[in-house]
């Protein structure tokens, strides 16, 4: 039987400094609200495919946090400004995530919509969590981005698919898949199916 999801922590959000340690990650539980500060990296389909295929990353991703995001950026006199940074749908990365978690010792994935059983198992085995960022709040999330430290593979992949190295302050997210085998996404789907079956029973 899958463990039941816990209630949200009563003491407010946990402020976490990146990079995260294995101990910190394993102390997190589904329904914990966190605020992240430090460096995270955006990564979408093209990056996941390349890295899962064995390519060497253009930056150090060991024990990093990957954000499923194609930020909207503008050039400034000093470099770049992020004007929108909403999450993209994470399930597209399900074929690659477990491989990247193992290969790089990733500590967190951020996106929306949740991920599947292979990712959940890798989170428990290697010490990683899935964090849900609010969809439809791209400008609010961009406000948590203090600056762009670097951009990688821009010429190769184009702006949305490039790896953007972002410095964030109090970036808000909710732990929805933890190292203890709990997935709020799976729990909600199971409860929804049971409710639907009760409302619309299949005739014998």
pLDDT at 2: 45
Mean pLDDT (the chain) is: 92
Query: What's the rounded mean pLDDT across residues 106-130?
Result: 97
Residue 25 structure tokens: 């990650």
Alpha carbon 96 to its chain's center: 13
The whole-number pLDDT of residue 4 equals 46
Would you state the pLDDT for residue 9?
52
Q: Residue 173's pLDDT is what?
A: 98
| Residue (of 93, 86, 105, 92) closest to 171 by Cα position | 86
The residue among 21 and 185 whose pLDDT is bigger is 21
Which of the four pLDDT bands, split at 50, 70 and 90, describes residue 10? low
DSSP secondary structure letter of residue 113 = S
Q: Which residues are catalytic?
A: 48
pTM here?
A: 0.90
Cα dihedral 16→102→113→59 (10° resolution): 70
- Percent pLDDT > 70 in the chain is 90
pLDDT at residue 1 tops 50: no
Within 10 A of 137 (CB to CB), how many other CB atoms are there?
A: 15
Average pLDDT score over residue span 78-98: 96
- The residue ranges of every structural domain in the chain are 14-199
Single out the residue of 41, 48, 14 nearest to residue 28, CA to CA: 14
What pLDDT is stored for residue 127 in this prediction?
98
Question: Mind giving me the DSSP string for 157-181?
Answer: H-TTTSEEEEEEEEEEEEEEE-TTS
Residues 6 or more apart whose CB falls under 8 angstroms from that of 113 comprise 89, 90, 91, 132, 135, 185
* Architecture label for domain 14-199: Alpha-Beta Barrel (3.20)
**Region 11-23 average pLDDT:** 94
| Residue 5 clears pLDDT 50, i.e. is over it | no
CA 169 to chain centroid, in Å, comes to: 16
Over residues 4-30, mean pLDDT: 83
Stretch among 70-74, 92-96, 102-106, 133-137 having the lowest mean pLDDT: 133-137
């Amino acid at each position: 039987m899958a463990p039941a999801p816990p209630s949200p922590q009563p003491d407010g959000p946990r402020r976490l400094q990146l990079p995260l340690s294995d101990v910190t990650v394993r102390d997190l539980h589904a329904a914990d609200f966190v605020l992240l500060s430090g460096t995270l990296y955006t990564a979408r389909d093209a990056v996941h495919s390349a890295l899962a295929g064995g390519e060497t990353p253009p930056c150090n991703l060991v024990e990093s946090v990957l954000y499923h995001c194609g930020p909207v950026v503008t050039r400034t006199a000093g470099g770049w400004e992020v004007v929108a940074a909403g999450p993209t749908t994470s399930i597209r990365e399900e074929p690659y995530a477990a491989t990247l978690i193992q290969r790089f010792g990733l500590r967190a994935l951020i996106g929306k919509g949740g991920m599947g059983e292979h990712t959940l198992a890798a989170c428990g085995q290697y010490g990683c969590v899935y964090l849900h960022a609010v969809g439809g709040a791209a400008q609010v999330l961009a406000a948590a981005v203090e600056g762009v430290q670097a951009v990688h593979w821009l010429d190769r992949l184009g702006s949305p698919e490039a790896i953007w190295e972002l410095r964030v302050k109090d970036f808000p997210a909710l732990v929805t898949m933890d190292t203890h085998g709990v997935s709020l996404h799976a729990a909600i789907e199971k409860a929804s199916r049971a409710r639907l079956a009760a409302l619309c029973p299949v005739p014998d």
